[in-house]
Homo-oligomer: A and B are copies of this chain.
Amino acid sequence: MPSQAELSAFLAREFPQTRCTVEAVGAMGATVRHEVGAQELRPGGTVSGPVLMAVADVALYVAILGEIGIVPLAVTTSLSINFLRKPASDRAIVGVCKLMKVGRSLAVGEVFLYSEGRDEVVAHVVGTYSIPPTARAPA
């Protein structure tokens, strides 16, 4: 299975727009991190919702690739987010993904999003990914 370094390299090459970095991957999970600067903030000094959704999407993607290998064709089929608390404007966002199922055709996981260094969840995401038929080794 791909290492953190391999997944980081893949992400940088295939998704040059993302500012996420891979902090950890493996054991049905992943942790990613996204710097917060002026570009990520909206009025009132809060991190914009789409930034949080993008971080969660990457966390899910990395966690799944950590299980099935690097399969660029895995695609998000649904993503559901609840915004719980205002993130800090001066801290990176950290996304911690735990997969609940990696099946033959569908993977499902949740992501807890935090302002780095704080304990309270700022948003919670559940997402599903579709896995292409050829990508998955027999269970």
Interface, chain A (partner B; CB < 8 A): 14-15, 17, 39, 42-44, 46, 48-51, 53-54, 57, 72-73, 75-85, 100-101, 105-106, 108, 110, 121, 124, 126, 128, 130
Contact = CB atoms under 8 A, between A and B. Distances in A.
A124 B126 contact: yes
Contact of A76 (B49, B108, B124): B49
Contacts of A14: 42-43
B57 A49 contact: yes
A57 B138 CA distance: 31
A101 B84 contact: yes
Contact of A39 (B17, B78, B100): B17
Contact of A82 (B50, B82, B126): B126
A50 B57 contact: yes
A79 B77 contact: no
27 contacts: A17-B39, A17-B42, A17-B48, A44-B73, A49-B53, A49-B54, A49-B57, A49-B79, A50-B50, A50-B51, A53-B53, A77-B82, A77-B83, A77-B106, A77-B128, A78-B80, A78-B82, A79-B80, A79-B81, A82-B100, A82-B108, A82-B126, A82-B128, A106-B130, A110-B110, A110-B124, A126-B126
